[in-house]
Amino acid sequence: MIGERGKCDMEFFHLKHKSAEFLRNPEYAKTREGLIDLICRDCEFWKEDEHDYQCGAYKLLQFLLEKDVISVAEIVHAVCE
């Protein structure tokens, strides 16, 4: 979610819980299940039975990870700070 001043106010509980796994195996974040774990499971719109839906945020992060513009370690560290 976006807070009043445009800042993200999500807690990212799932991503924090999986942070060690993502840091141990960064390539996992480039797999379909890894992307869902990284992006979707903390999303307020996440539904266990709708894995085929991919929103713009999902596709943008997937693209940035594939192009190595951003690393999963950078994402995990930003979330865990």
CB of 37 to ligand SF4, least distance (A): 11
Cβ nearer to ligand SF4, comparing 15 with 19? 15
Interior angle at CA 19, CA 13 and CA 23, nearest 5: 165
Q: How many angstroms separate the CA atoms of 24 and 20, rounded?
A: 6
Binding mask 45-64 for ligand SF4 (x = CB under 6 A): xx------xxx-xx------
Which residues of this protein are in contact with ligand SF4, per CB under 6 A?
Answer: 39-40, 43, 45-46, 53-55, 57-58
